[in-house]
Structure 1
């Protein structure tokens, strides 16, 4: 298995077709953003990255590393988001592997801390994340904010 970055990869249509197969509404939203990179940059900040963990030509997991997320706070960045593992690959800690890769990228970009926003309780704690607080996201919904010092 290997990790690639969407925006610097070839065959973007192939990757978008695979994202479209994900049974998760946030993946559908991500696909809309990928089809309109201006909107992607507007919502998630410029220079965002989308990482895929691949099994051959199949996406196992994906995650974003961006300047913004659904929480608008200029003092909190970067954000990890859209973390997803396809059902056939679940139970093998592939999400953890991809999170670690994204964290390493954040470190190489001189970011000593990363944030994520989620509704999940108990998932990210096992990866070393600490609950910070609950805030309203840009859709005015409660979202839990976690952080991790790298």
Structure 2
């Protein structure tokens, strides 16, 4: 059974998700784990964790900023990851929907997302706004979706 939890640092699952991110197969996972242990998710920012039968199946975040400096956009859905054994079940879509619903509850009218992927997020209602250089010097796309 699928369950998605919006986590903040005080939640009991925080450390479990942090450890999972640190050890996951995606190269950005350890960066999320570091952000979590460095207490960088504050206020309304959340880590969304998808669980299937109480096992972590994936995660994403909703945060004030992402890896592209000097842009006026916020909030960002970021750190989107689905475990290999759970892919093909539309977990990314469900995580995005939960993050978007939460952003709407906070009063935001749009959400943003940074990705190099082409054709992936458009099917979830995102449109490309522009391309910018991220903090590592890579060309990335900024996408937006209305809530």
TM-score by length of 1: 0.89
Q: Paired residue for 1:66?
A: 63
Deviation at 1:21, TM superposition (A): 3.0
Question: What is aligned with 1:93?
Answer: 90
After TM superposition, which residue ranges in structure 1, 4 or more long, deviate above 3 angstroms?
Answer: none
1:124 pairs with one of 111, 121, 124: 121
Equivalent residue number for residue 84 of structure 1? 81
More helix per residue: 1 or 2?
Answer: 1
String of CA shifts for 1:43-100, please: whole Å, max 9, x gaps.
Answer: xx75421000111331112010001111124521000000000000000101101100
- State the alpha-carbon separation in 2 of the partners of residues 113 and 5 from structure 1: 19
CA contact under 8 A between 1:18 and 1:58: conserved in structure 2?
no
Unmatched 5+ stretches in structure 1: none
Length, aligned pairs only: 145
SS of equivalent residue, structure 1 residue 68: coil
The CA distance in 2 between the partners of 1:141 and 1:46, in whole Å, is 29
User: Counterpart in 1 of 2:3?
Assistant: 2
| Bigger mean CA deviation after superposition, 72-81 or 95-104 | 72-81
TM-superposed CA distance for 1:11, in Å, is 3.9
Change (3 A) 1:122 1:35: same
- Counterparts of 1:11 and 1:112, CA distance in 2: 29
Could you report, residue by residue, the CA deviation over 1:5-31 in whole angstroms, capped at 9, with x for unpaired residues? 232421433222222331111111111
Aligned to 1:56: 53
Looking at structure 1, the residues matched to 101 and 134 of structure 2 have their Cα atoms a distance apart, in angstroms, of: 26
Residue aligned with 1:138, SS: coil
Does the CA contact (< 8 Å) of 2:76 and 2:112 recur in 1? yes
